[in-house]
Every structure is written in C-alpha cells, then in structure tokens.
Amino acid sequence: MIDTGTAGSIPLVLQAWLPAALRAGGSITVTGGTEVAQSPTIDYVDRVLVPVLRRAGASIAIDLLERGYYPRGGGSVRVRVEPGLPGPIAIPGEGACGLVSCSANLPGHVTERQAAAAGDLLRDVAGLTCTATLDARDGGPSTGSSITAWCGAKGAVALGRRGLPAEEVGRAAARALAEELAGPGTVDVHLADQLLVYLALCGGEYSTHTLSMHAKTACSLLAEFGYPVECREDTTVEFSR
C-alpha cells in the first residue's frame, strides 16, 4: 500500500508502477487524490489509458474504492495486474464515447448538471451521443467534483472548484474533448505522453496533433535507457517503435 499523505495524485503513482507491474504482475492500493490538478483523473486512466493497454493484451483491473480531492485527499484505488507485457500498441479507428461525472460530499444535482452540460455541448459541437455515468458520493474527508469525457482513445477532464458552476465544469471537459476530436491523430496529446513507455517496451504506433514537452523529454530519456522511439513531426506527430 502507498499513502501519498494528502491529495497526492493516485494516477501519477500508477503511471510509475504499471510498466513494472506488467512485467512481474502484482497488486497495489494507493490512497490520496483521485482527481487533482495537473494530473489525469482516475476515470481517464480507467476509460482511456487502460483500454488501449487491454486491447494490446494487458490484464489490468482497477477498483475505485473512494474518491479524493484536493487538499484533503482520502481517495483509494486498488489495481491488480497479471504478469505479461502486452503486444504492440495499436489504436482502433473508432471507439465508445462516454462521460463520468462525479463528486464527493456535494448535492447530487452537481453531477447531473455537469453531465448534462457536457453531453449537450458534445452533441451540438461534435455530433456525439455519450453515455453518462453519475457517481455522487457522501462521506470521506474531501469535497469536490470532476468530469471525464472520452471518445475512443481521446479524452479530456475538468475539475470543479468553489464558485464555478457545475455547467461550466461540464462544458470545459466537453470543449477540450471536441478540440481533440477535431484535430489530427489517433490519441489525445496527453495519452500520447503516457503511452510512450509502453511503445518503447512493446512496439507499435500511434499519432497525435502536437509534440508536447513531456513527449520530447520522455523520448530523450527512453533513448538514454536503450529504448529509442521514432518521432516524425509533420502535419501530425507520429510515434513508432
């Protein structure tokens, strides 16, 4: 078990643990923040990143026990992994679209309003019909809300904050996803960063619209460890190994 102490990002801990776990197998329980700034939400990990790895053959199970928000945290996630690296990373042309709108210690209508606003914008702007999952929880030490939206291997997130209407939270995630879907590439710019270590280990290919500084740094580090990834930057950014 790993306890981040407060609202340290559980998804970022899992990003460090998963590549090693796929070689050896194992389970981990991490406590802290499930949805915090400058980090993917746990729903993004579960609905965007992990499905790509599962399609390549990885066996990963995520159990979201408690949600945790900044600054108090209190979230808890258990992950189990069967040993065995997946095959080459490949991104299908189409995928399911959905929303997870969640909260802790807030009125239930917050998640409803977030989801409704996001769904309306995605329908009007991108022509998408998204299945919405609402997860309003009571108890635990923290208070907050968030929404994760995705379509295939492209996703986006937004976090609530005091004074920000729930509708604006929902629309922020929807706008970000619509922008990703309108751009070139098979994955969103953040997933492109997160998949690089798996691409280096397992091979495959994918593309996105922008070469981020995170991706540049990761490619440089992977090459230093003997796992060079080819990066071709033109109208799209293509990664392969």
By annotation, the residues acting in catalysis are: 214
Written as six digits, the tokens of 6 are 């407060």
Residue entry with tokens 């798996």: 198
Q: What is the torsional sign of CA 226, 40, 216, 235? A: positive
Spell out where the chain has E strands: 2-3, 26-32, 60-66, 75-81, 97-104, 131-137, 144-151, 154-159, 205-208, 230-233, 237-240
Q: How far is CA 16 from CA 9, 181, 198, 216, in A?
A: 11, 28, 12, 18
Whole-angstrom distance, CA of residue 115 vs CA of residue 149: 9
Query: Is there a contact between 95 and 123 (Cβ–Cβ < 8 Å)?
Result: no
Neighbours of 223 (CB within 10 A): 12
Written as six digits, the tokens of 180 are 């990703």
3-state class (DSSP) for residue 105 = coil
Residue entry with tokens 């159990």: 63
3-state class (DSSP) for residue 177 = helix
